[in-house]
Structure 1
Amino acid sequence: MQNLLQELTGLLSLDDRLVSEGRLMKNKVVELALNLDPLLIRHLLKSESMKSHFFSDVDGIFVFDKIKFQKFVSNKKFLPDSFTSYKNKIGLTSESEYLTDSQEVVLSWPYKDCVLEGGQDREDSVRTEIFWNETLAPDQIDRLLSPKALANFRYLGKKYGEYVEEVSAESHLLIKGNNLLSLHTLVKNYEGKVRLIYIDPPYNTNNDSFQYNDSFSHSTWLTFMRSRLEVAKKLLAPNGVIAMSIDQNEAFYLKVLGDEVFGRANFISAVTVQNNPKGRVMDRHFATSHEYILFYSKARLAEELSVRKTAEQLKKDYTEQDEDGSFRTLELRNTHREFGKHNRENLFYPIYVNPADSTVSLEKSKEYHIKVEPIWDDGFEGCWTWGTTKVELEGDLLLGRQVKGQWKIYRKSYATSDDGEAVSRKLKTIWLAKEFHTEKGQKAVDQLVGKGRFRSPKPVEMIKTIVDLATKQDSNDIVMDFFAGSGTTGQAVLELNAADSGNRVCILCEQLDYIETTTSTRLQKVAEPLGQSIIYCELAVANQAFVDAIEAAATIEDLAKIWADMQEKAFLSYRVNPRAIDESRDEFANLSLADQKRFLVEVLDKNMLYVPASEIDDQAYAIPEADKAVNKKFFG
């Protein structure tokens, strides 16, 4: 077998597509084999040993056995690096089996808490963390995604310093912890109840962001997003809407993913936002000055999305006044020339005006003697927008006016509806408002938490617009953001509630450590003067504490101390034999610091990163009694 391995390595090395930085890429080899790549097959047919091993002779025609070839290439003995060789030696890697053979599925980095920082839309955003991937059996995934216990409850805002006794349906929440696991934890209480989800996910601006070769960079990012969007869909109410900010690097891939998860028929619109009017001058060819927001609904919406007009807009647009309030006039004639008497004959009829008081009637009389028809100035026979039945019912909203010697019919449009609600307007799909520029969002954060604490946050006014678009002020609508970043969505909801006496509830999830400094500080400073409060809590950590320590370790000596602590306190994978690891300490010492970190994370049981809510009473987790009480009320 060794000779076959060496010969195959030599043959594959002749194909430049399979070589990166002097090394063969296993993933690419498998990908081309499964796609029956002609050039790869020609390389293999050059060797008699490859022919006899991976091809079947059927009446003189060589048929490639791609499954057998895939098994061979995926074998742990093919192209092992020092890290893989070490894992093989201590027995952490099981014998080579395909996922379809072993009935296992790949769940990629749902537990990785150093996921790219939110707002990855700048050139210096690439981070150096490794993204770990593992193969988990279905029952392991079920356990991994089971609800987690919550801990370290405290109030931000008005009730700062008070004791948290309960998380109610009206409570604003800020949760620290892996966002995928946070979402699954929230499903029990909030499934089918969230009116709006807004997210600003990592943008995957560089192909190396997810530590894969180029062929897998987009699929890796999309798998990361899909696992979160699928549970987000469960959380959305039947009339729920999700809005996703994204730039052009992944916008079109995300559109395809969104169509698959939410249904193509439930795609609402792609809005273009001018976020940097000067453009990014370092970009090639074009200076990018925009990004997108993709809107989807969970099901077909019965009502249109719209925003209420501001006081300034109402004053500008509704300049006339009568006993019923401020109004503006709109011409009753259909202004679209494709509609007219030729295809809307029932909407072509005369309306009669009383010139003394401008009132109208469908019947000609002594008072109502001015005949008006929907005819254009050039003689084209158009049509009205209302039929005769509606004119009979709501004729008091119509009036006749003489314009440049010609009589026309207008209808009154009031600034408020019959129930006192301000009129709404549809938004256009290109947003150019200065308040939506990134620099506005940056200024807001800098003023609250200090400069340099968080870069490129979304503008508050833009998020307010999205919240206003999809929610009602008096209906306890829930707004969620599971890439909370600096907390812009939370600030938008709190300020909008204060402005219109709304009852919206915000639920925010963030997994990076700046939640304790930037996000919490910002929301504390926003909520307190508004007289509102937010409950801060965390997914109760178990093995995640060791993951954090491993990531923070600066030296190999630090990792040695962590490993000693792990053997005593951590939940290790069932595949791990600590004695075998210690017996191979010399080989372990020869690994790079990054590979040592990677290995120590792999030996942890990923199901035990956080404390399962069902095991909250287990004394091993040392959950305080007060936190247990809140959890039991929350989970019922």
Structure 2
Amino acid sequence: MKTKINEVIRYVLQQFGEKYFIEGNLNKNKVIQDLDSYNEDLLEAFISNETIKNNFTIDIAGNVVMQTNKLIELFEADEYWQDSYTKYSKKIGLTAGGKFIDEIGDVVLDFPYKDTVLKASMSKEDTDKDDLRPDEPFLNELIAKEEIDVLLDKKILVNAKKFDENGGSDVDNFSEEDNLILKGNNLLALHTLKEKFAGEIKLIYIDPPYNTGNDGFKYNDSFNRSAWLTFMKNRLEIARDLLSYEGSIWINIDSNESHYLNVLLDKVFGEENFIADIIWNHTKQSKNDERFFSRHYNHLLVFAKDKESLEDFETPRTEEDNKNYKNPDNDPNGLWRAGDVRSPNLRETLKFDIVAPDGTRISPPENGWRWSKESIEEKIKSGEIIFKPNNTGIIRKIYLKNQSGRTPENIWSNCGTTREANQELKQLFGKSPFATPKPEKLIQQILQLGSNKNELVLDFFMGSGTTQAVAHKMNRRYIGVEQMDYINTVSIPRIQKVIVGEQGGISQGVNWQGGGSFVYAELMEKNRGFLQMIRDSEDHNALQRIFDFMLEEAEIDFRVDLEKLKETLYELSLDDKKRTLIKIIDKNQLYYNYSEINDNNVRDLISDNDYTFNKNFYDEGSE
């Protein structure tokens, strides 16, 4: 709708050329952004126009003050929505061609704002084509700093229980020795853990969605890589804070996004902290349905928090590793094998003759010797270097007694397969609830290399609980995070089976006999509970009761015109009512923040047991 104000504003904006227009259409999002950041050029242009000055400024002590909030409201309110159930919303968001990104499918998000946060959920169960699922998985709006602080603040924990060989029971305390499983959005859970566990995690392993279109991370094709990278970036940044300086992160990924993820990891962890790109052979059978190549491997990208502080990785030695160690000269130091004496790189300064006891001169190899002349003379005296028969060369002795382990290789073909992982789950549950679980032997290899007994391991894409099951059997402490409801039908029951001594996976190899415990808790739902109630409602009366309840208790998006919505909601169909109520809920307020725990209306919702647990967990003591 054209008004005089609209026309004047357009006239002023046209002075900036194409800055605020896309193919002749006003780019309102750009104007709002510049108003919100008090762009000097834009404000000066507006104040210089008498019409705008008269309508959108006030005089304070002789100073002209621009009412940017009024201007922003004007842009938000001006006929943005075309469909029946969104026209009552006022929304600030990313646009292309004058339309919001959720209205089109040809935009790419490339970190345009440093504070972009993509909360996201883990699985396609959270979003569905019927559009009645919460749109929580993809928060692609520009979130103000104040909103981010609220979003990422630590949450209230409820339904706290401790599980041991006797089952689960209420618990009101948490100790440093306890294992922990959290149910809730993993980004928010990680920030909930930050205060207590920052710098304490020795190893992080994650198996995130691969962004293949078949893994639950779904969005339009031209947007999903940017969305996926934003999604990963938010989580990797907090994961780095949780890692100890001696720690490492291991990420299982396929070739669809591995190269992009590696670049992102370079940014978050630093190129200098790259450790390895390991190839894990996850299948032995050829896939004839592939067009070009049958894919048989995943990547394991490994980064350190601080490479200089990281311990060397070693794998246990086997009889096969030791078969070449002999002692033909009865060396009192025991079994040995011959080692390379050549420099791996050309070193002119290491090219010198070695004189044997009989005066024979031994010429250096092409690249020179591995050590300096002084070092070689010391090794000859100690017996570490001996001369070949007839003094034709030298032999370096590498003693078995000095070999504590073996340097691992970056191709893994003996760590189990996806087929074996499915068999492990079938033995536990009668069927495999996941399409591509990871075998216990794979996680065992990772934990052997990157952690020691009693050190803390984190997996915030918990899934079926393989990482936690293996960590439990290997006497590592662990934290797991999962949002989906199968945490209570698959993940938790699996670890309970471990506690009572199940003998699948690596159990026999590590002589697992059962025992141990873990603590389970949930991020306390706030608006998320309303989302579920809306979806489950079956008639108009039920929805009206929910809406009335929402008006009293729910956090509503501040951009919504509630009075207009109250007047027109009754006109909509049942499904459109559901869509509308889902849309107006503030998706940044899905869980209660811990700062609200003593509010009267919140305290009444929390059991005394959970209240004490929270105080203990956050080290504030019981009140």
- Bucket of the pairwise TM-score, normalised by the shorter protein: 0.7 to 0.9
**What SS class does the counterpart of residue 291 from structure 1 fall into?**
strand
- TM-superposed deviation, 1:538: 1.0
CA contact (8 A) 2:93 2:142 kept: no
| CA gap 1:396/1:588 in 2 versus in 1, 3 angstroms | farther
- TM-superposed deviation, 1:404: 10
User: What does residue range 429-444 of structure 1 map to in structure 2 within 5 Å?
Assistant: 429-433=410-414, 435-444=415-424
Select which of 395, 414, 417 maps to 1:409.
Answer: 395
- TM-superposed deviation, 1:374: 6.6
Query: Which residue in the other structure is 2:455 paired with?
Result: 477
| CA gap 1:171/1:466 in 2 versus in 1, 3 angstroms | same
CA contact (8 A) 1:271 1:293 kept: yes
Which moved further from structure 2: 573-582 or 610-619? 573-582
Q: Following the alignment from structure 2 to structure 1, what is the Cα–Cα distance between the partners of residues 317 and 294?
A: 33
- TM-superposed deviation, 1:539: 1.0
- TM-superposed deviation, 1:276: 1.9
Select which of 446, 457, 482 maps to 1:466.
Answer: 446
- TM-superposed deviation, 1:182: 0.4
TM-score with structure 2 setting the length: 0.74
User: What does residue range 160-199 of structure 1 map to in structure 2 within 5 Å?
Assistant: 160-199=167-206
User: What does residue range 504-519 of structure 1 map to in structure 2 within 5 Å?
Assistant: 504-519=476-491
CA contact (8 A) 1:374 1:383 kept: no
Query: Which residue in the other structure is 1:349 paired with?
Result: 354
AA aligned to 2:395 is I
AA aligned to 1:328 is W
AA aligned to 2:478 is C
Select which of 474, 491, 494 maps to 2:469.
Answer: 491
Which moved further from structure 2: 247-256 or 277-286? 277-286
Select which of 297, 312, 316 maps to 1:309.
Answer: 316
CA contact (8 A) 2:315 2:407 kept: no
Q: Following the alignment from structure 2 to structure 1, what is the Cα–Cα distance between the partners of residues 537 and 300?
A: 38
- TM-superposed deviation, 1:285: 2.1
Question: Are residues 1:93 and 2:90 paired?
Answer: yes
- TM-superposed deviation, 1:512: 0.8
CA contact (8 A) 1:331 1:408 kept: no
| CA gap 1:325/1:155 in 2 versus in 1, 3 angstroms | farther
Aligned residues: 529
Q: Following the alignment from structure 1 to structure 2, what is the Cα–Cα distance between the partners of residues 531 and 96?
A: 51
Question: Are residues 1:334 and 2:333 paired?
Answer: no
| CA gap 1:238/1:254 in 2 versus in 1, 3 angstroms | same
- TM-superposed deviation, 1:370: 9.1
| CA gap 1:494/1:426 in 2 versus in 1, 3 angstroms | same
Percent identity of paired positions between Structure 1 and Structure 2 = 30
CA contact (8 A) 1:487 1:522 kept: yes
**What SS class does the counterpart of residue 522 from structure 2 fall into?**
strand
Question: Are residues 1:546 and 2:530 paired?
Answer: yes
User: What does residue range 330-409 of structure 1 map to in structure 2 within 5 Å?
Assistant: 330-331=338-339, 333-334=341-342, 336=344, 338-339=345-346, 342-345=348-351, 348-350=353-355, 364=357, 373=362, 382-385=368-371, 388-389=374-375, 392=378, 396=382, 398=384, 400=386, 408-409=394-395
Q: Can you list the C-alpha shifts for 1:510-563, whole angstroms capped at 9, x where unaligned? A: 111111111001111113333221111111222222223445567878655643
AA aligned to 1:599 is T
User: What does residue range 497-536 of structure 1 map to in structure 2 within 5 Å?
Assistant: 497=475, 504-529=476-501, 530-536=514-520
Question: Are residues 1:588 and 2:552 paired?
Answer: no
AA aligned to 1:217 is N
Query: Which residue in the other structure is 1:428 paired with?
Result: 409
Which moved further from structure 2: 564-573 or 540-549? 564-573
Query: Which residue in the other structure is 2:103 paired with?
Result: none
Query: Which residue in the other structure is 2:231 paired with?
Result: 224
AA aligned to 1:445 is L
Q: Following the alignment from structure 1 to structure 2, what is the Cα–Cα distance between the partners of residues 495 and 403?
A: 52
Q: Can you list the C-alpha shifts for 1:460-508, whole angstroms capped at 9, x where unaligned? A: 11112112222233xx4221111111111112212222xxxxxx32111
CA contact (8 A) 1:401 1:409 kept: yes
CA contact (8 A) 1:374 1:381 kept: no
| CA gap 1:580/1:465 in 2 versus in 1, 3 angstroms | same
**What SS class does the counterpart of residue 598 from structure 2 fall into?**
coil
Q: Following the alignment from structure 1 to structure 2, what is the Cα–Cα distance between the partners of residues 276 and 255?
A: 23
TM-score with structure 1 setting the length: 0.72
**What SS class does the counterpart of residue 147 from structure 2 fall into?**
helix
AA aligned to 1:482 is F
AA aligned to 1:493 is A
**What SS class does the counterpart of residue 197 from structure 1 fall into?**
strand
Q: Following the alignment from structure 1 to structure 2, what is the Cα–Cα distance between the partners of residues 524 and 407?
A: 62
Q: Following the alignment from structure 2 to structure 1, what is the Cα–Cα distance between the partners of residues 584 and 167?
A: 40
Cα RMSD of the aligned pairs, angstroms, is 3.9
Task: Note the residue ranges of structure 2 that are not aligned, 5 or more in a row.
Answer: 4-9, 30-74, 97-111, 127-131, 502-513
AA aligned to 1:330 is A
Q: Following the alignment from structure 1 to structure 2, what is the Cα–Cα distance between the partners of residues 324 and 166?
A: 57
- TM-superposed deviation, 1:635: 0.9
Q: Following the alignment from structure 2 to structure 1, what is the Cα–Cα distance between the partners of residues 290 and 179?
A: 40
- TM-superposed deviation, 1:612: 1.3
CA contact (8 A) 1:540 1:610 kept: yes
User: What does residue range 31-46 of structure 1 map to in structure 2 within 5 Å?
Assistant: none
Q: Following the alignment from structure 1 to structure 2, what is the Cα–Cα distance between the partners of residues 631 and 324?
A: 61
- TM-superposed deviation, 1:405: 9.7
Q: Following the alignment from structure 2 to structure 1, what is the Cα–Cα distance between the partners of residues 262 and 236?
A: 12
Q: Following the alignment from structure 1 to structure 2, what is the Cα–Cα distance between the partners of residues 431 and 413?
A: 27
Question: Are residues 1:141 and 2:148 paired?
Answer: yes
- TM-superposed deviation, 1:286: 2.0
CA contact (8 A) 1:540 1:611 kept: yes
**What SS class does the counterpart of residue 474 from structure 2 fall into?**
helix
- TM-superposed deviation, 1:175: 0.7
CA contact (8 A) 2:191 2:238 kept: yes
